């Protein structure tokens, strides 16, 4: 009996050793340990043994069973691991193949930059104000100190709808409308489409975008104007950006200025973008003229303010190195995909 | 405006590099657009006198010159043909440098020694092209640095003068700015001269008939010898961009460039009746200006006339009839002041903008006339051009007086954000020609040439710019906290744009004006209200004359541009306004336009729209077929209905419209009103508990007639299966084999679930069967 058990053990071990896959392990388990397995039948034949031998053989048989169970388990783990390794080896893919993408579209570069500028001013407490594009002459000119026959009207080549209705030449009318409707403190930017009857070429478009800003409150000074616009320039063009304010003239501000920023392409060394000067003219600004405040229903003796305006198209063109403004309105999909 | 630096330093002793001066002036408010330093790169080029010219023994085209350069006589070989013995010319010596870094050295030309080079204007960098060597005026000193002779030292400053500063339209005005910028004294301008014993009234009489002429002054000069003006005067005129004519005309131009006051000179012989009349022109009157062009005048224009005819268009240009000629002996100098707007309009109507009109149109100071007329007479004397007749004509009914202003210096400091003393402010203002008394406040007398200064803010600007904008500190805005807010509309526009981008569409930006032709191109009906558009009175052309009433043509035009450029897969959108006429200000309405071509169909477009509606939380949506809209394919066009109101239209563009836009492909377009969508936008969303009980999934496939819309099937399923059907999803529509003609097979996956309990198979069977039955009864559906 003993020898028989030992023999079964050896045979089983041999077979386990040679097993090549998990299926074979199952077969071996059935063959030796299954209901009709050889070990099982030995245990079943124990009744024929003398009673004093029974516990000894029983113990032995159990040991063999446990031993084989262990071995089978070990072998199975080994095989599974090998099988897994094999599978993984066979599943290598070319990770340089292109990814599967949901094709997104894109925001137009003008709006992309506008969004960025809006965000910067939003962070400084500026809301966005809007107004009509077809505007009363009064708001577009008169209220901004540009009466009929003022030379500035010639410079701006206005599209007329009727004698007192124009396509706004600037977004400044929004400033007047805002002052009429809002009590100070006022902090707005007014972006939008503006119109001038310029013939189309690489730098002129009859439709373009302006962003104006207006701040009105008690005690607003020119130092506030500089502080605000310098902050904007640093946020938008980069922390290293320097600014330069030069005196200028606009009918609706007094004092007036133009702001240059140090060229972000060459950092002031001089290049094609800045025409060698190291500076780029970015915006016009000034302290709101008291007549304009009055037109907006605000008492200039109590309040003061500053305003500024810049051309979005020019900024977009400088930022992306676009050399022809027409590209912005042509909407060639190959152009739009670049931003 | 071009100002030669040498002219400027005649009035301010400034010992600084021209670039430094330019930068400082730009920062104090006189913007220098360009510094032209002609002679900068020229070195060792002197004037030389050509004593002798011989033929070159070995070359027909070359000649050998003996040139006296003061210190020695040089032999120089030249190829130029225009040089004659006795000419004075620029000579580049051995070791000299020309613009562009060109170095000149001794050498042999065809075997003959040449010790330098004779230069052309082009080689000296003062002209873009030249034919031959530059010949200097007779009497030019020899052996002198060419830069001195040409007045190039220092160069020329080109200013941008803003419209509020007509006082800076002359060298002297700019000199005053230099004086104020550097706080250096401004020298007086010389105006002394002798008059003869005669009386101008015996020569001429002036009558001003129109108040558009605010002042008219004149002087008579006799014994005039017309000829070229002296070299220095010609040079200055040329440097400032004005062509020298003759001494008399040059004097008027010189005064204009120096003081900003235009003048005119008439030949006394041709003034009929010895009387000058300032009046309006006659309508249709023909008049030949100095440039030889016959012009038609009208009664809005001011002219200078005599008793018989017009002599000049006031302030714009004189006439040929009274032009200064070689044999002119008596001259009338006119120095007048005209209404700026009138001059501007006249100049515009005539298409004739001159140095004179461009100054007058800025409304000059009438008091400038005194100094200008005297200066002209002074110059007559200096260059010996004639004899000034005693007395002057001066018609000036309403003299302009200086303006008085009282400004609080503390207010200026607060307004600008600086802190400077009132004495310093007064000093700055005095340099600008103002008289200032310093008390608690500044009592300022503003000279008449500063018509732009009227209020305290104007004074603040003068102080700020002379103090230096760059020195003003930068400060954050203090005071009450202002909260930035986005309006609902601004927020939702951003959402629409983001959803469209996620849908794979590219945002475009198109012109708001369109051609009237687009209405036919998109096949609008005769009576379509969209044809009533806002019209531009002065458009860039008929094709840009209407403010659009629909975005569809703009979308189609953009698709066309892309299609014709071989961009065949295009998905675009634009959020933009359309404009409807109204009694008062036109109404502007925000729309979303969508367009697509390529491997897409109707349902791709619909899906994009559904995504927006979904994000907006809008559920009461219907799609109604629209066969009336001729822009679209009648079988593939839907009206988008939100809460039973139409808010948009979308679908496939009618093949005829696509053809009008040269697109030989299916085109899908949508136009949606955004405002009603914004109104329907639902902010509140409520959490619904996740299902506790399992679902049962059943598929159903039926045959229905072709024209049955799937929406009808879905409605029946949802209605019959109410409280049991959680969702219905269409997964297959099939026509063809095994499906009879005129029928289609439609397959749905229906998910059954109850919120309160687990459904049994039996329960589901009952509901499912009643759904099938309802479909059979209502739609004649057959179960497959
Ligand atoms: Zn640069």
- The CATH number linked to B769 is 3.30.70.380
> Considering the domain boundaries, does residue B449 fall inside one?
yes
Q: Where are the alpha helices (DSSP H) in B505-620?
A: 518-521, 552-564, 602-615
CATH number of the structural domain spanning residue B353: 3.50.40.10
Q: Which SS3 state, helix, strand or coil, does residue B150 take?
A: coil
Whether the pLDDT of residue A44 is over 90: the answer is no
Q: Which SS3 state, helix, strand or coil, does residue A313 take?
A: helix
- Where on the phi/psi map is residue B103: left (φ > 0), alpha (ψ -120 to 50), or beta? beta
Same-domain check for residues B159 and B145: no
The answer to whether B451 touches B363, Cβ cutoff 8 Å, is: yes
CA proximity to B153, closest of B258, B41, B49, B33: B41
Asked if B501 and A104 come within 8 Å (Cβ–Cβ), the reply is: yes
Q: Supply angle C-alpha B302, B307, B311, rounded to 5.
A: 45
pLDDT of residue B113: 92
pLDDT of residue B128: 64
- Give the single-character DSSP code of B114: E
Same-domain check for residues B10 and B54: no
Task: Report how far residue B416's alpha carbon sits from residue B439's, in angstroms, rounded to the nearest whole number.
Answer: 21
Give domain limits for chain A: 2-90, 109-336
CB contacts of B484 in chain A (<8 Å) are 121-127, 187
Give the Å distance between the CA of B317 and the centre of ligand 1. Answer: 43
ipTM over 0.90? The verdict is no
> Which residues of B participate in the annotated binding site for Mg(2+)?
452, 458, 461-462
CA proximity to B107, closest of B86, B92, B89: B92
Whether the pLDDT of residue B464 is over 80: the answer is yes
- Number of folded domains in chain B? 6
Final residue of a structural domain among B630, B652, B680: B680
What are the CA-CA distances from residue B715 to residues B20, B44, B172, B528, B610 (Å)?
A: 83, 98, 88, 35, 18
- Give the single-character DSSP code of B99: T
Pairing of strands B275-280, B205-208: parallel
CA distance A338 to chain B (A): 11
The answer to whether B177 touches B159, Cβ cutoff 8 Å, is: no
Q: Considering only residues B649 and A64, tell me which one the structure prediction assigns the higher pLDDT.
A: B649
The answer to whether B492 touches B678, Cβ cutoff 8 Å, is: yes
DSSP strands (E only) in B380-424? 387-388, 393-395, 403-407
> Considering the domain boundaries, does residue B478 fall inside one?
no
pLDDT of residue B508: 98
pLDDT of residue B152: 61
HEC assignment per residue over B558-571: HHHHHHHCCCCCEE
CATH number of the structural domain spanning residue B53: 2.40.50.140
Same-domain check for residues B418 and B355: no
Same-domain check for residues B237 and B386: yes
Same-domain check for residues B516 and B562: yes
Touching B: A residues 15-34, CB under 8 Å: none
**Residue A59, burial from CB neighbour count under 10 angstroms (0-12, 13-18, 19+):** exposed
Whether the pLDDT of residue B153 is over 70: the answer is no
* Residue A102 pLDDT grade (very low, low, confident, very high; cuts 50, 70, 90): confident
Q: What is the mean pLDDT of chain B?
A: 93
Same-domain check for residues B454 and B503: no
pLDDT, average across residues A251-264: 94
CA distance B26 to chain A (A): 7
Give yes or no for A99 touching B (CB within 8 A): no
Question: In this predicted model, what pLDDT tens digit does every residue of B206-264 receive, in sequence order?
Answer: 999 999 999 999 999 999 999 999 988 988 898 888 888 999 999 999 999 999 999 99
Whether the pLDDT of residue B460 is over 80: the answer is yes
> Which residues of A participate in the annotated binding site?
254
Give the Å distance between the CA of A282 and the centre of ligand 1. Answer: 13
pLDDT of residue A111: 97
Asked if A246 and B458 come within 8 Å (Cβ–Cβ), the reply is: no
What are the CA-CA distances from residue B11 to residues A156, A168, B176, B232, B761 (Å)?
A: 36, 45, 8, 16, 108
Question: In this predicted model, what pLDDT tens digit does every residue of B315-361 receive, in sequence order?
Answer: 999 998 999 999 999 999 999 999 999 999 999 999 999 999 999 99
Mutate to test the interface with B, among A333, A335, A339 (most CBs of B within 10 A): A333
Task: Report how far residue B559's alpha carbon sits from residue B661's, in angstroms, rounded to the nearest whole number.
Answer: 8
pLDDT of residue B601: 95
> Considering the domain boundaries, does residue B189 fall inside one?
no
Give the Å distance between the CA of A230 and the centre of ligand 1. Answer: 19
CB contacts of B28 in chain A (<8 Å) are 247
Record the tokens describing residue B360, joined without a space.
């007058």
Task: Tokens 């675009």: give the residue.
Answer: B572
Same-domain check for residues B335 and B380: yes
* Residue B583 pLDDT grade (very low, low, confident, very high; cuts 50, 70, 90): confident
Q: Where are the alpha helices (DSSP H) in B400-480?
A: 409-416, 422-431, 456-467
Task: Tokens 């004189």: give the residue.
Answer: B318
Of B143-152, B432-441, B669-678, B682-691, the one with minimum mean pLDDT is: B143-152
CA distance A286 to chain B (A): 10
- Give the single-character DSSP code of A277: S
Of A187-196, B79-88, B388-397, B574-583, the one with minimum mean pLDDT is: B79-88
Question: In this predicted model, what pLDDT tens digit does every residue of B466-507 receive, in sequence order?
Answer: 999 999 999 999 877 888 999 999 999 999 999 999 999 999
* Residue A156 pLDDT grade (very low, low, confident, very high; cuts 50, 70, 90): low
pLDDT of residue A35: 83
Task: Tokens 């004294």: give the residue.
Answer: B185
pLDDT of residue A144: 92
* Residue B755 pLDDT grade (very low, low, confident, very high; cuts 50, 70, 90): confident
> Considering the domain boundaries, does residue B256 fall inside one?
yes
Give the Å distance between the CA of B18 and the centre of ligand 1. Answer: 23
- B636 contact partners, CB below 8 Å, separation of at least 6: B602, B651, B652
Report the greatest alpha carbon distance in chain A. Answer: 133
- B510 contact partners, CB below 8 Å, separation of at least 6: A329, A331, B551, B554, B555, B557, B558, B574, B576
Task: Report how far residue A134's alpha carbon sits from residue A140's, in angstroms, rounded to the nearest whole number.
Answer: 10
Same-domain check for residues B528 and B637: yes
> Considering the domain boundaries, does residue B689 fall inside one?
no
Asked if B477 and A333 come within 8 Å (Cβ–Cβ), the reply is: no
pLDDT of residue B423: 96
> Considering the domain boundaries, does residue B187 fall inside one?
no
Whether the pLDDT of residue A277 is over 90: the answer is no
Q: Which residues pair with B639 in a beta bridge?
A: B624, B649
Q: Is the preceding peptide bond at A255 cis, omega within 30 degrees of 0?
A: yes
- A288 contact partners, CB below 8 Å, separation of at least 6: A175, A214, A216, A252, A253, A304, A305, A306, A307
Task: Report how far residue B781's alpha carbon sits from residue B774's, in angstroms, rounded to the nearest whole number.
Answer: 9
CA distance B504 to chain A (A): 4
Give residue B217's domain range.
200-395
Record the tokens describing residue A79, joined without a space.
């095989």
Same-domain check for residues B33 and B47: no
Asked if A133 and B572 come within 8 Å (Cβ–Cβ), the reply is: no
CATH 3.30.930.10 fits A109-336, yes or no: yes
pLDDT, average across residues B699-711: 91
> Considering the domain boundaries, does residue B482 fall inside one?
no
Asked if A193 and B586 come within 8 Å (Cβ–Cβ), the reply is: no
**Residue A314, burial from CB neighbour count under 10 angstroms (0-12, 13-18, 19+):** middle
Asked if A121 and B484 come within 8 Å (Cβ–Cβ), the reply is: yes
> Considering the domain boundaries, does residue B480 fall inside one?
no
Asked if B29 and A248 come within 8 Å (Cβ–Cβ), the reply is: yes
CA proximity to B304, closest of B362, B264, B340, B344: B264
In degrees and rounded to multiples of 5, residue B217 shows phi and psi of -125, 150
Asked if A127 and B484 come within 8 Å (Cβ–Cβ), the reply is: yes
Predicted TM-score (pTM) of this structure: 0.83
Whether the pLDDT of residue B40 is over 70: the answer is yes
Q: Nearest Cβ partner of A247 from B28, B478, B509?
A: B28
Chains A and B form CB pairs within 8 A to the count of: 227
Of B89-103, B121-135, B160-174, the one with minimum mean pLDDT is: B121-135
Q: Considering only residues B42 and B542, tell me which one the structure prediction assigns the higher pLDDT.
A: B542
pLDDT, average across residues B535-562: 96
């Amino acid at each position: 009996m003993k020898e028989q058990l030992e023999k079964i053990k050896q045979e089983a071990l041999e077979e386990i050793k040679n097993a090549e896959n998990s299926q074979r392990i199952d077969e071996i388990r059935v063959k030796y340990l299954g209901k009709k397995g050889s070990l099982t039948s030995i245990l079943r034949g124990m009744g024929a043994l003398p009673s004093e031998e029974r516990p000894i053989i029983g113990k032995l048989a159990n040991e063999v069973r446990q031993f084989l169970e262990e071995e089978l388990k070990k072998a199975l783990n080994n095989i599974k691991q090998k099988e897994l390794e094999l599978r993984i080896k066979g599943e290598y893919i070319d990770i340089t193949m292109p990814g599967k993408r949901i094709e997104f579209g894109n925001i137009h570069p003008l709006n992309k930059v506008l969004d960025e500028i809006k965000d910067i001013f939003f962070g400084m407490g500026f809301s966005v104000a809007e107004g009509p594009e077809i505007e009363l002459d009064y708001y577009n000119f008169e209220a901004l100190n540009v009466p009929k026959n003022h030379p500035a009207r010639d410079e701006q080549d206005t599209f007329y709808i009727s004698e007192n209705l124009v396509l706004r030449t600037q977004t400044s009318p929004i400033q007047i409308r805002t002052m009429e409707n809002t009590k100070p403190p006022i902090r707005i930017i007014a972006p939008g489409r503006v119109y001038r009857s310029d013939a189309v070429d690489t730098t002129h478009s009859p439709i373009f975008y302006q962003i104006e800003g207006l701040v009105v409150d008690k005690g607003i000074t020119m130092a506030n104007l500089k502080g605000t616009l310098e902050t904007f320039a640093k946020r938008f063009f980069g922390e290293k950006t320097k600014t330069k304010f030069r005196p200028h003239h606009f009918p609706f501000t007094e004092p007036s200025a133009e702001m240059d920023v140090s060229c972000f392409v060459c950092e002031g060394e001089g290049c094609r973008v800045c025409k060698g000067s190291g500076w780029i003219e970015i915006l016009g600004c000034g302290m709101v003229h008291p007549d304009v405040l009055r037109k907006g229903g605000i008492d200039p003796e109590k309040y003061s303010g500053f305003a500024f305006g810049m051309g979005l198209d020019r900024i977009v063109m400088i930022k992306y190195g676009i050399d022809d403004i027409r590209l912005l309105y042509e909407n060639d999909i190959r152009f739009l995909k670049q931003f | 405006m071009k100002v030669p630096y040498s002219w400027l330093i005649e009035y301010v002793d400034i010992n600084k590099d021209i670039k430094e001066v330019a930068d400082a002036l730009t920062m104090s408010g006189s913007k220098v657009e360009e510094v032209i330093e002609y002679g900068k790169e020229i070195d060792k080029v002197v004037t030389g006198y050509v004593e002798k010219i011989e033929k070159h023994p070995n070359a027909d085209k070359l000649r050998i010159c003996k040139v006296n350069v003061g210190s020695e006589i040089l032999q120089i070989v030249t190829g130029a043909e225009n040089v004659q013995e006795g000419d004075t010319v620029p000579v580049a010596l051995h070791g000299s440098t020309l613009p562009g870094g060109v170095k000149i050295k001794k050498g042999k030309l065809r075997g003959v020694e040449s010790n330098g080079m004779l230069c052309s204007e082009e080689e000296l960098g003062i002209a873009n092209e030249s034919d031959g060597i530059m010949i200097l005026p007779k009497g030019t000193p020899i052996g002198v640095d060419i830069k001195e002779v040409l007045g190039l030292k220092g160069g020329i400053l080109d200013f941008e003068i803003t419209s509020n500063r007509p006082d800076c339209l002359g060298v002297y005005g700019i000199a005053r700015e230099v004086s104020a910028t550097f706080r250096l004294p401004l020298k007086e301008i010389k105006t002394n001269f002798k008059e003869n014993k005669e009386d101008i009234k015996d020569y001429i009489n002036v009558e001003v008939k129109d108040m558009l002429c605010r002042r008219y002054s004149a002087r008579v000069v006799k014994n005039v010898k017309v000829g070229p003006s002296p070299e220095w005067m010609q040079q200055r005129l040329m440097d400032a961009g004005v062509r020298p004519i003759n001494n008399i005309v040059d004097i008027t131009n010189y005064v204009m460039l120096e003081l900003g006051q235009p003048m005119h000179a008439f030949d006394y012989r041709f003034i009929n009746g010895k009387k000058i009349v300032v009046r309006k022109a006659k309508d249709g009157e023909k008049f030949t200006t100095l440039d030889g062009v016959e012009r038609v005048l009208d009664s809005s224009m001011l002219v200078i006339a005599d008793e018989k005819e017009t002599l000049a268009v006031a302030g714009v240009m004189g006439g040929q009839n009274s032009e200064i000629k070689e044999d002119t002996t008596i001259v009338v100098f006119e120095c007048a002041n005209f209404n700026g707007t009138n001059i501007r309009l006249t100049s515009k109507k005539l298409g004739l903008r001159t140095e004179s009109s461009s100054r007058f149109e800025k409304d000059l100071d009438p008091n400038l006339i005194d100094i200008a007329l005297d200066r002209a007479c002074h110059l007559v004397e200096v260059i010996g051009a004639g004899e000034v007749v005693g007395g002057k004509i001066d018609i000036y009914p309403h003299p302009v007086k200086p303006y008085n202003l009282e400004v609080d210096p503390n207010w200026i400091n607060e307004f600008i954000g600086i802190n400077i003393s009132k004495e310093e402010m007064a000093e700055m203002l005095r340099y600008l020609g103002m008289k200032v008394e310093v008390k608690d406040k500044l009592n300022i007398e503003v000279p008449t040439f500063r018509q732009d200064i009227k209020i305290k803010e104007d004074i603040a600007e003068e102080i700020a710019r002379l103090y230096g904008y760059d020195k003003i500190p930068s400060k954050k805005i203090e005071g009450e906290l202002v909260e930035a807010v986005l309006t609902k509309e601004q927020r939702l526009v951003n959402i629409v744009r983001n959803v469209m981008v996620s849908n794979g569409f590219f945002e475009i930006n198109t012109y708001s004006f369109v051609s009237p032709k687009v209405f036919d191109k998109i096949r609008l009906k005769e009576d379509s209200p969209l044809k009533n558009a806002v019209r531009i009175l002065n458009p860039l052309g008929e094709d840009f004359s209407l403010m659009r009433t629909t975005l569809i043509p703009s979308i189609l035009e953009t698709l066309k541009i892309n299609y014709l450029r071989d961009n065949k897969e295009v998905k675009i959108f634009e959020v933009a306004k359309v404009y409807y006429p109204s009694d008062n200000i036109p109404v502007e309405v925000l729309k979303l336009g969508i367009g697509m071509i390529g491997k897409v169909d109707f349902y791709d477009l619909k899906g994009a729209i559904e995504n927006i509606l979904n994000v907006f939380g809008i559920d009461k949506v219907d799609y109604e077929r629209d066969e009336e809209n001729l822009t679209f394919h009648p079988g593939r066009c839907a009206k988008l209905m939100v809460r039973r109101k139409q808010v948009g239209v979308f679908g496939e563009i009618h093949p005829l419209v696509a053809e009008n836009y040269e697109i030989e492909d299916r085109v899908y377009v949508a136009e949606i009103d955004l405002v009603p969508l914004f109104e329907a936008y639902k902010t509140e969303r409520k959490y619904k508990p996740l299902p506790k009980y399992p679902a049962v999934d059943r598929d159903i496939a039926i045959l229905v007639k072709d024209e049955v819309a799937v929406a009808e099937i879905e409605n029946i399923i949802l209605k019959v299966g109410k409280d049991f059907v959680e969702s219905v999803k269409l997964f297959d529509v099939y026509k063809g084999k095994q499906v009879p003609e005129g029928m289609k097979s439609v397959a749905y996956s229906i998910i059954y679930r109850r919120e309160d309990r687990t459904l049994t198979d039996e329960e589901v069977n009952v509901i499912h069967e009643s759904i099938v039955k309802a479909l059979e009864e209502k739609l004649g559906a057959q179960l497959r």
